[in-house]
Structure 1
């Protein structure tokens, strides 16, 4: 291709597309002259974004030096916050986890200031456990809708007190790096989609609540108001069990993990997972799976995904996957499901973390973002210093 007019940001995107390049290979791929290539690549070396990586094997002439994306020590800090558990992790830009800590929480009954103070303290411990890293961004997943463009939580009964809470401002006072805020189910779907490149992927998080995300063309659908994927509150009947949203007959009132705990009298979702083969539990899961399959069938008929991934501690159970798949195929035309794969999560509890990391990396290392950072006379990444800023009271 002729990319002789490509900016340093676009050149970095090309370099990232494979493990290593020689300068001659870059010249051939871009159509640049040698002086132009030197002009475009020099700022990337100066910013620590590319490095030399040895040389080619000698075949009689002088070995050529190899150039690669310098991902050493580049990391993303993530907060995967669910209804009852939070996971704080430090991960490399290619998905390799350096360290993480999970802890039980009660997001519905903990004020946001207290929740954040606790999770930031956990993050301090995660960061301190690793050698100083080059932190390029922070990703946050929450079990509720997020306002596009601002990262502010939107109203939901699950997160009382979080409506318009200045989460981005609070965290930027601690870490002055680019940040991504996303619904936890959509983050899970984006993470799972990385295992199915080029496909349209519908991902479902089924744990305490039920949410979904749709990824197509490498992009996650957020919707105009940030509520895309809020399938747990699709109403299945005018009457029925009361939902935590205050209405009756919602999918979540029948099939969410919260509802199943009430139906089975168990204390935790782990109990349900461990006893999933017991007849009463199995029957309850199959019934719930059929309810979820009814809702997903319409989405599949509309979006025609190649893969449906069921994640979360309930969603990934084998019997649940079978029940959901059977119901979908029972009520959907064959042409909508002929090529559909219905599979459990392959990333498990790391799915949302992987999604958040990929969203941050996609934003920070986008060609336009790299060019803006270089034009501002500073690199898009900085060496993380300890201790970070103090969390606002």
Structure 2
């Protein structure tokens, strides 16, 4: 009976979460449970405070129906996004709306997990204090590179040296009295995309490709994130691609996709353009700052620097031809390219679109949409981290713990009244 109860509660809660202002009659039709069972589950969720009624439906001549909505103020969650050069921490309500966000630049991710996570926990502490410290329900963390979702540990991450197999989830769970989940930040960016981009939300099957310091893909199948075995689906950064030839990769091998399409690859090639004088803009940047960033290459291209435009065009074409294989295999309705490369906008979008469509078979994805991410990557990671936590908290497996936590203030209030 307990399993059926929590399955029903999770189904009712999920439906109300995604269909704000639904009537109880429509809810009953949607979840496929009896009217009395739905009424019981709704009453239970209302009593705990997870859902509430914002009013009644318009009158059609008879008794008006009560509308049901998620109570976004019943608690909040923390999202953490740890990229290669910055960390972002936010609080979000139970509808996923950001309540406050903090950014901090990272000198080097290679400083190691103890030092970096110590800084993150300090910021989390500040954010919790801003929210009054009450009703924190969960924490979601995004990392650059593949993550074993079962254990919450990074695996095979040359972009994060020193982090291999570090128990990130365990550290957060030990530090804060709430459940924590850790995932690849590309997965989180994909979750944020379908939450924030109406076209992505309508795409039943979506392929999200993130090209930043590293590269990776996320798969949305039937509207849900597909993680694969141990959560490692989409770890394509170090697959061999013919176009990469014998280019050396940070993983120690040659010919990897990341070696020719990632942010660090663009920085490497941009530095060469600056040092050889082929790019006057980047040569000036190198002279003034002593370095060339991937973003500098984008700025150079926007200032009509021919060599920078050629570099980004070539990178985008290589990326598009590689993505065509994934598109042909997965057959998504939509391909979204995000990460740092998306800042170059039309400079990279057109060659990506052209390369993808040229390499697809004539029968492959005839109505495919190819777009750049609609999100600002600086907040996309924490928006996705919040969606990760909310999806896990409201699942039938984790709902018992969530309900127990929310019932504690109710029991304390009753004890106070009795006293």
**TM-score, normalised relative to structure 1:** 0.85
Q: Secondary structure at the match of 1:233?
A: coil
**CA shift at 1:157, angstroms?**
2.4
- 1:26-72, Cα deviation, whole Å (9 max, x unpaired): 677767455x5554333323321122434556788876654432111
Counterparts in 2 of 1:40-189, with a 5 A limit? Answer: 40-55=41-56, 66-106=67-107, 108-132=109-133, 134-189=135-190
Corresponding residue number in structure 2 for 1:352? 381
Q: Distance in 1 between matches of 2:220 and 2:60?
A: 46
Q: Answer yes or no: is the 8 Å Cα contact 2:50–2:74 preserved in 1.
A: no
Q: Answer yes or no: is the 8 Å Cα contact 1:91–1:98 preserved in 2.
A: yes
Q: Secondary structure at the match of 1:109?
A: helix
Q: Answer yes or no: is the 8 Å Cα contact 1:50–1:67 preserved in 2.
A: yes
Change (3 A) 1:341 1:363: same
- Select the residue among 297, 312, 318 that pairs with 2:339: 312
Q: Secondary structure at the match of 1:232?
A: coil
- Select the residue among 214, 218, 228 that pairs with 2:219: 214
Corresponding residue number in structure 2 for 1:243? 249
Change (3 A) 1:121 1:381: farther
Q: Answer yes or no: is the 8 Å Cα contact 1:47–1:379 preserved in 2.
A: yes
Q: Distance in 2 between matches of 1:132 and 1:221?
A: 34
Q: Distance in 2 between matches of 1:175 and 1:203?
A: 31
Q: Distance in 2 between matches of 1:180 and 1:365?
A: 13
Q: Answer yes or no: is the 8 Å Cα contact 1:209–1:257 preserved in 2.
A: yes
Cα RMSD for the two superposed structures: 3.0
| Stretches of structure 1 lacking an aligned partner (at least 5 in a row) | 384-393
Change (3 A) 1:381 1:243: farther
Higher helix share: 2
**CA shift at 1:230, angstroms?**
2.4
Whose relative contact order is higher, 1 or 2, with alpha carbons under 8 Å and at least 6 apart?
1
Q: Answer yes or no: is the 8 Å Cα contact 1:231–1:295 preserved in 2.
A: no
Corresponding residue number in structure 2 for 1:258? 264
**CA shift at 1:261, angstroms?**
1.1
**CA shift at 1:160, angstroms?**
2.5
Q: Answer yes or no: is the 8 Å Cα contact 1:199–1:306 preserved in 2.
A: yes
Change (3 A) 1:115 1:189: same
Q: Secondary structure at the match of 1:192?
A: helix
**CA shift at 1:309, angstroms?**
0.7
**CA shift at 1:80, angstroms?**
1.0
Q: Secondary structure at the match of 2:90?
A: strand
Change (3 A) 1:286 1:381: farther
Q: Answer yes or no: is the 8 Å Cα contact 2:109–2:116 preserved in 1.
A: no
**CA shift at 1:156, angstroms?**
2.6
- 1:323-357, Cα deviation, whole Å (9 max, x unpaired): 11111122222321421111111112133322222
Corresponding residue number in structure 2 for 1:342? 370
Corresponding residue number in structure 2 for 1:15? 16
Q: Secondary structure at the match of 1:173?
A: helix
Q: Distance in 2 between matches of 1:188 and 1:379?
A: 29
**CA shift at 1:94, angstroms?**
2.6
**CA shift at 1:140, angstroms?**
0.7
- Select the residue among 292, 309, 325 that pairs with 1:298: 325
Q: Distance in 2 between matches of 1:342 and 1:319?
A: 14
Q: Answer yes or no: is the 8 Å Cα contact 1:151–1:182 preserved in 2.
A: yes
Corresponding residue number in structure 2 for 1:388? none
Q: Secondary structure at the match of 1:76?
A: strand
Q: Secondary structure at the match of 1:361?
A: helix
Change (3 A) 1:114 1:305: same
| Stretches of structure 2 lacking an aligned partner (at least 5 in a row) | 272-290, 411-419
**Count of aligned pairs between the two proteins:** 377
Instruction: Answer with 78-87 or 113-122: which moved more.
Output: 78-87
